Structure 1
């Protein structure tokens, strides 16, 4: 099929999908990604704080709560004094927010401005935030990559590298992001999976700090829970009531659905992919053109140029990608280069292009509203690697 006709074909299919109301190709998100807002949270039980004879007393039955496991098998420490290790035993007496994240996860990235804000507000009042960086992809184990992300997102609180998933397993965690709030006696009092719930989480932080103040005799924390939370800047907002394309993975071990190409996945082999000579491209399905090596967690371009085609429903699109550096990526939608400011992603130039500068998440599309659209990703540069497409 002529490459110039691919965009028109995909767009036609997307339009037909709207008219016929067909089911989304697959409707369950990747098991370990908390893609919905407030996917799960525990019911917080506050302590009863009373003042008797001038003494403030905090009372709550803690037999119903679990003790927080300590950090296990940590391979590195960022933002700690001289890179020293930290553990929950050292933090006893503090309120601790344990945040499981990984730096290429868009769901995690969208939560970071809130964590940074809470650290600024409450660190001097007894809150300690510990970011547990549990990598999804191999490149996320690189300490320099993690340090770059910590700097990029303005993270000042400690971040520990959970490269072997020891702490992840200790908490029996299965999601990015996930937040646990641990009280000053080491009990898990609150558990939130996914994005959202920021106002509720901040209320719990303030309540636990008030409990701590009552128990230790320090000045009580104002329990006004109507305080405003921070609105993220330059970060995508998501309407989770809208139907959108689920995350799509490129590695043969990570993929949750087959490729649209008849060649399919061929582990550890280089395959020459082409678009089928028929007009039945499926929505929410990856199609490739060019020579691509099938790696466990990514597809790696082996020819000088390559193409990725997709019909999707969302308002924003991100890719997790990398390479040797310098590879050029051009983005077009519905047959037109993404040069308009309204649809151009944060990481694109005015020409609708980006140059790969590291293994990370790149925002390539940012619209104001949700719709079906056709997407073409053209790549120049052997060695380009793509891990996943995420949507917002």
Structure 2
């Protein structure tokens, strides 16, 4: 693939009318593949957003391509909500059927593709990081030279503390999960997770089937996040404990210091953000009612 593929097959476009490579000729194009629950995309997004705004007058067009990882991410209202939450104002193609993903032969979230003014793809990058080099690539393609943008991610957009991460991303459904849950979550080995109460284990998710059902994870990282969805349409309260007590100063952006949270719609929920020193801890999440769906733990 050397030229920008067409964006045909999109289920719709947000923030724009449909765009084509021919219509984009003469502009530098940055294509960003993402999905709304991906922690790596969330931590990358403030940079892409800043570039879109900083270089628009120089001829840069950023195009987001939302290709869903989980079934509930096909919901276009959730995608719209994510755009509002992240203050994304550049064009986004809704790639629910993986048509654009396949045209690019892409395999990653997030993924950046850089196209020059003639429509030739000159560079790409998969995952987080490499921000300085990516911005310098944009400046070279645009023919500009000036100080790089300053970006400071906050909340779930804050960069990971890789020096303290000792726990890997962990999928919970049987289709991608590598570890079975521990039957007695009160005695969790390090880097293992367990269930208590009633749970249904599906292909891509686990679902609570009784009030008070609990997930626990023994992890080490500054941040502990959990992708959740709510098929009931009614807000669900949940309680988070850290080593058996309220998290206090270690609470994440989506819960209070006493561990209270509300599952309102499908997205990534930041449960824990430890202040230094970061140590191994056990997080527990208990749902007040049945119906909560959990997909993957991520850490940062």
Question: Does the residue aligned with 1:368 lie in a helix, a strand or coil?
Answer: coil
Q: Paired residue for 2:272? A: 365
Question: Does the residue aligned with 1:287 lie in a helix, a strand or coil?
Answer: strand
Q: Paired residue for 2:250? A: 343
How many Å separate the matches in 2 of 1:173 and 1:113? 22
How many Å separate the matches in 2 of 1:287 and 1:161? 35
Q: Paired residue for 1:329? A: 238
1:239 CA displacement: 3.0
Query: Residues 185 and 195 of structure 2 are in contact (CA less than 8 Å); yes or no, is this contact kept in structure 1?
Result: no
User: Structure 2 regions of 5+ residues with no counterpart?
Assistant: none
Instruction: Note the alpha carbon deviations across 1:183-228, whole angstroms, 9 max, x for none.
Output: 0111111111111111111111111001xxxxxxxxxx3x23x424
Tell me if 1:90 matches 2:23.
yes
- Write out aligned runs for 1:7-22 (5 A): none
Tell me if 1:135 matches 2:71.
no
How many Å separate the matches in 2 of 1:129 and 1:116? 9
1:86 CA displacement: 1.4
How many Å separate the matches in 2 of 1:390 and 1:352? 19
Q: Paired residue for 2:169? A: 247
- More divergent stretch after superposition (95-104 vs 286-295): 286-295
Q: Paired residue for 1:52? A: none
Query: Residues 106 and 361 of structure 1 are in contact (CA less than 8 Å); yes or no, is this contact kept in structure 2?
Result: yes
How many Å separate the matches in 1 of 2:107 and 2:163? 23
1:241 CA displacement: 4.1
How many Å separate the matches in 1 of 2:178 and 2:243? 26
Instruction: Note the alpha carbon deviations across 1:258-304, whole angstroms, 9 max, x for none.
Output: 2223xxxxxxxxxxxxx279x5x332222001111122211111112
How many Å separate the matches in 2 of 1:172 and 1:276? 41
Name which of 140, 152, 160 aligns with 2:85. 152
1:243 CA displacement: 4.0
Instruction: Note the alpha carbon deviations across 1:138-157, whole angstroms, 9 max, x for none.
Output: 11111100000001100010
How many Å separate the matches in 1 of 2:35 and 2:15? 16
Instruction: Note the alpha carbon deviations across 1:48-88, whole angstroms, 9 max, x for none.
Output: xxxxxxxxxxxxxxxxx8222222321110000xxx32122
- Write out aligned runs for 1:4-153 (5 A): 66-80=2-16, 84-153=17-86
Question: Does the residue aligned with 1:346 lie in a helix, a strand or coil?
Answer: coil
Query: Residues 198 and 229 of structure 1 are in contact (CA less than 8 Å); yes or no, is this contact kept in structure 2?
Result: no
Q: 1:233 to 1:276 in 2, by over 3 A?
A: closer
How many Å separate the matches in 2 of 1:172 and 1:334? 44
- Write out aligned runs for 1:240-279 (5 A): 240-261=162-183, 275=184
Question: Does the residue aligned with 2:275 lie in a helix, a strand or coil?
Answer: strand
Q: Paired residue for 2:204? A: 297
Q: Paired residue for 1:170? A: 103
Q: Paired residue for 1:60? A: none
Query: Residues 185 and 194 of structure 2 are in contact (CA less than 8 Å); yes or no, is this contact kept in structure 1?
Result: no
Query: Residues 199 and 229 of structure 1 are in contact (CA less than 8 Å); yes or no, is this contact kept in structure 2?
Result: no
Tell me if 1:375 matches 2:275.
no
TM-score (norm 2): 0.94
1:372 CA displacement: 0.8
Q: Paired residue for 1:19? A: none
Q: CA RMSD in A?
A: 1.6
Q: Paired residue for 1:237? A: 159
Question: Does the residue aligned with 1:336 lie in a helix, a strand or coil?
Answer: coil
Question: Does the residue aligned with 1:140 lie in a helix, a strand or coil?
Answer: helix
Equivalent residue pairs, number: 296
How many Å separate the matches in 2 of 1:291 and 1:231? 41
